[in-house]
Amino acid sequence: MEPKGNNNPKMLEKPWLSTALNARSLGSGTETIVFAHGFGTNQSVWDKITPLLAEDYKVVLFDWPFSGAVDPTLYDPLKYSSMEAFADLLITLMDQMDLKATTFVGHSMSGMIGCIASIARPDLFKTLILLGASPRYLNIDDYEGGFTSSDVDELLQNMESNYDSWVTAFSTLAVDPNDEPSVNKFRECLRGMRAGVAASLAKTVFYSDHRDMLEKIETPCTIIQTTSDIIVPFSAALYMERKIKGKVTLEVLDAKGHFPQMTATAQLVDVLKGVIGL
């Protein structure tokens, strides 16, 4: 069953947005880092990272409407059927919180959301850090996105037929299986989402294509990729490195899986500090 539409008008009013999305600030400093989680998780996915950065930087966290950590009526599958809608929401949130010239760390789908927002409002972003991000997930012609159409069809069918079984299998594939606590954390985050929301969002993510947008990105970018990621192949990171218009740096973490913020925390923090500077 598809989730119901958003009937909560307060979600659209600026004074309510930061509260609705559980937005919060930690630490202090002249540099501000905004962390945006990806599909299936919430801001707790950054729990190992933020204590190591809040001593030197202002850290901003929030939950997307699809997160199991927010009011479930806030997610409208029609409204949020594109990454552009999430980018608009991000811009509104950052304006409300009076954030400017930030370092934006977008994991997975949030990488492209940040890119879209940076094109519309470059004043909000000093640097984009794209962690396990991809402009397109489906293979096409000579582009390797990592999935065939039949792969995605099967994934969606499994989600809709037996969500709990799909969660168990997918969490083991997406996260380094040698890190059982992180696998369990992702699994519980996925279970916090309603099945209808997860399936709707998966369609939005896996059928998205933002390759043409890359040549419009002028904000400096750092692409961070693990050596083995079943969700985003290394070829996608190389494609972004070639196509993004602005200055681009590619950093490779010696780690497995799609969630280095949980499984390779020290490596990731070193890269982040190198990008931002002290």
Q: What is the DSSP letter of 43?
A: G
Closest CA relative to residue 83, chosen from 201, 235, 248, 189: 201
Closest CA to 134 of 275, 41, 239, 255: 239
CA gyration radius, the chain: 17
Token couple for 16: 């309510």
Among residues 227, 162, 171, the alpha carbon closest in space to that of 199 is found at 162
Query: Could you tell me where the beta strands, DSSP code E, fall in the chain?
Result: 24-27, 32-36, 58-61, 102-107, 125-131, 221-228, 248-256
- Pick the catalytic residue from 76, 88, 179, 229: 229
For residues 130 and 22, what is the distance between their CA atoms, to the nearest angstrom? Answer: 22
Q: 134: Cβ–Cβ under 8 A, 6 or more apart, which residues?
A: 108, 111, 112, 145, 146, 231, 232, 236, 240
Catalytic residue among 37, 107, 210, 258: 258
Active-site residue, 258 included: yes
CA dihedral 245, 46, 96, 108 (to 10 degrees): 40
Number of DSSP helices (H) and strands (E) in the chain, helices first: 11, 7
Q: Is 229 a catalytic residue?
A: yes
CA–CA separation, 262 vs 185, rounded Å?
Answer: 9
Spot the catalytic one: 108, 110, 134, 208: 108
Q: Is 208 a catalytic residue?
A: no
Active site residues: 108, 229, 258
